[in-house]
Structure 1
Amino acid sequence: MTRPEILVLGSVNRDLIVHAPRLPLPGETLRGQRFGSCLGGKGANQAVAAARLGARVALAARVGLLENGAAMVAQLAGEGVDTRAIVQPADEVPGVALIVVGAEDAENQIVTVAGSNGTLPLEQVEALRLDGLLWLVAQQELPLQSIARAFQRARAAGVKTALNAAPFRAGSESLLPLVDLLVVNSLEAQALVTTLGGAAAEPVVLAQTLRAKGPAAVLVSLGADGLCWVDADGPRHVAARSVKAVDTVGAGDTLVGALITALAEGQPIANALAFAQAAAALAVSRAGVQDAMPRREEVELLLAQNN
């Protein structure tokens, strides 16, 4: 089997998704419109997004075999994700995410239970093969010490590191000196800056503040307002594509998977950002999480239509 160029170190969940007229208020019970279950987790989502776009990608994860965990791993393999670095303990339960999507604005609320994601040990990180990799990508649904050790090993091996600092967790600021590319939304960016002692600020200022802590580049996603990118060449804003938002769950993961795919291919930054924006736009225009993630030809067609 061909060695991957991208390794995603991340979570695998079973997503339980309820669609409702809108997001419920605290203490309120709403009658839902429909319910579905699918493979999810930020690690799995980003790996699948990259694989669908043509990347050679592997996923390192811990997926308990209880509650049908083996089927989750099989589904990942069916998407073209290299699953050889997934450990499957027989006595653990996979992670679970409870998701509510509001029909009025397609916004969502998510509660996760770590399950086997929360037990990923340093021993598994030490066993990871890094030869041939261009990028190691992580999120924050795993133990932070495991992410830190993976980034240390990647740096020593000359592999670039990308952190999607989501969901925000206290202590994640300690990872910043080990990060080449930081991807956050505006709320996560503000939370990180606040943890570092900073004040509320505009996204470009937040990105510049975070970049000063170690990352070579910072991307702050702004939803319908596009994204803010800051690197050594300064800040740039990329407007969002005009689409009818149907479901925003998984849009951020699609953005990350697409961006890393483009960067691994050596695309210039402007092209890589446009590629990632197009992939995310297609994802939010459809219902579902991984079901909504586009294929390579769809993204290229959308890009061609706007050239």
Structure 2
Amino acid sequence: MQSPRIVVVGSLNADLVVRTARFPQPGETLTGSELAVIPGGKGANQAVAAGRLGGDVTMVGAVGDDAHGSLLRESLSSSGVDVTRIARRDDVATGTAVITVDDAGENTIIVSPGANGTLTPDRIGEAWTALDGAGVVCLCLEVPIDTVLETARRGAAAGALVLLNLSPYGPVPEELLQATGVLLVNEHEAADLARVDPEEAGWEATATALRSHGIRRAVVTTGAAGSVVIDGEADPTSVPSPTVDAVDTTGCGDAFMGALALRLAAGDELVDAARFASTVGSYAATGAGAQASYPDQEQLAAFLEQR
């Protein structure tokens, strides 16, 4: 039986990627690899990750009427994602992300919003109907905050689970946090939001602080170590990730988010969904780029069999 539909309301970016041995110091010029233009954006990445693994996924977003926009739509469509609710804007370019990747697989990213900035509540129009009957609604902060908040309101009112990735991190309305069914953050974002350092105070104190914001369910990613699941009043649970030789960590968090949404839509408990998502995120680190490194069901099965 097909799991309930996943709706991603978020960003689509063309990733402009250059690899370099190390990151430059301020004022320093380094020689890098050939420029690669690949499909990305946190929202689109999440949609592709879930779509490739067999999810019923709809993407709501905006691109420019340009080659980068066509590239993004094609990548989503070929991954099984419904792209009919992606608007084309003829007055602005598709969003872009300038990414550098070093020899250790770490990355730096600068985003130019482009068409993503036009995804305001009043311009979504008929695309709001995508939320009707949705099981999970995925959100991030690469589109206007008014849109994120309005989507959370509508998604929660429609009975969907609102899954919010608080990234790129910044202040958000308390109403958004309270409308969120499951929050996804990394350990640094969790510490800033809770005003409690998990390493110093422990995860119980962090969970208590998050509950004071109305957040009762959260997954906190902890890099290569995996994640920590906070689910209601239960003790926080550590979920390890498979150990891999990282090639490129670009988009691994989005792969985690998409996989988490997939399993939550299928009815998994949060800790089981996080365990599955950790595996998908680890797989993504073994390949270059974001969407290009995401597995389909067969590839993930082979990866698991090796372990």
Give the TM-score normalised by structure 2: 0.91
The aligned counterpart of 1:268 is 269
The aligned counterpart of 2:45 is 45
1:125 positional shift = 4.3
Q: How does 1:64-143 map to 2 (within 5 A)?
A: 64-103=64-103, 105-125=104-124, 127=126, 128-129=128-129, 130-143=131-144
Q: Residue deviations 1:207-234, cap 9 Å, x none?
A: 4422431233111111112111101122
1:242 positional shift = 0.9
The aligned amino acid for 1:231 is: D
C-alpha contact 1:247 1:286 (8 A) present in aligned 2 = yes
SS in 2 for 1:29: coil
Q: Name the CA shift for 1:207/1:252 in 2 (closer, same or farther; >3 Å).
A: farther
SS in 2 for 1:145: helix
SS in 2 for 1:88: strand
Q: Distance in 2 between matches of 1:20 and 1:51?
A: 31
C-alpha contact 1:179 1:216 (8 A) present in aligned 2 = no
The aligned amino acid for 2:21 is: P
Structure 2 gap segments, 5+ residues each: none
The aligned counterpart of 2:257 is 256
Q: How does 1:22-61 map to 2 (within 5 A)?
A: 22-61=22-61
The aligned amino acid for 1:240 is: S
C-alpha contact 1:18 1:99 (8 A) present in aligned 2 = yes
The aligned counterpart of 1:220 is 220
Q: Distance in 2 between matches of 1:210 and 1:94?
A: 35
SS in 1 for 2:35: strand
Q: Distance in 2 between matches of 1:179 and 1:91?
A: 33
Q: Residue deviations 1:139-189, cap 9 Å, x none?
A: 000000111011111111111101001101233555211100100112222
C-alpha contact 2:166 2:185 (8 A) present in aligned 1 = yes
The aligned counterpart of 2:287 is 286
Q: Percent same amino acid at aligned positions?
A: 37
C-alpha contact 1:98 1:111 (8 A) present in aligned 2 = yes
Q: Distance in 2 between matches of 1:36 and 1:207?
A: 41
Q: Distance in 2 between matches of 1:19 and 1:172?
A: 37
Structure 1 gap segments, 5+ residues each: none
Q: Distance in 2 between matches of 1:126 and 1:151?
A: 16
Q: Name the CA shift for 1:84/1:246 in 2 (closer, same or farther; >3 Å).
A: same
Q: Distance in 1 between matches of 2:64 and 2:160?
A: 28
C-alpha contact 1:100 1:110 (8 A) present in aligned 2 = yes
Q: Name the CA shift for 1:85/1:208 in 2 (closer, same or farther; >3 Å).
A: farther
Q: Name the CA shift for 1:67/1:286 in 2 (closer, same or farther; >3 Å).
A: closer
Q: Name the CA shift for 1:28/1:186 in 2 (closer, same or farther; >3 Å).
A: farther
Q: Which moved more, 1:126-135 or 1:159-168?
A: 126-135
Q: Distance in 1 between matches of 2:123 and 2:156?
A: 17
Q: Distance in 1 between matches of 2:73 and 2:62?
A: 10
C-alpha contact 1:208 1:230 (8 A) present in aligned 2 = no
The aligned counterpart of 1:62 is 62
SS in 2 for 1:266: coil
Q: Distance in 2 between matches of 1:41 and 1:68?
A: 12
Q: Distance in 2 between matches of 1:225 and 1:3?
A: 29
1:89 positional shift = 1.4
SS in 2 for 1:234: coil
Q: Distance in 1 between matches of 2:32 and 2:39?
A: 21
The aligned counterpart of 2:177 is 176
Q: Name the CA shift for 1:255/1:69 in 2 (closer, same or farther; >3 Å).
A: same
1:124 positional shift = 3.9
Backbone CA RMSD of aligned residues: 2.0
Q: Distance in 2 between matches of 1:272 and 1:199?
A: 25
C-alpha contact 2:107 2:249 (8 A) present in aligned 1 = yes
Q: Residue deviations 1:245-272, cap 9 Å, x none?
A: 1100010000000111011111233432
Q: Name the CA shift for 1:48/1:280 in 2 (closer, same or farther; >3 Å).
A: same
Give the TM-score normalised by structure 1: 0.91
The aligned counterpart of 2:193 is 192
The aligned counterpart of 1:247 is 248
The aligned counterpart of 1:166 is 167
The aligned counterpart of 1:144 is 145
The aligned amino acid for 2:292 is: D
1:90 positional shift = 1.4
1:305 positional shift = 4.9
1:237 positional shift = 0.3
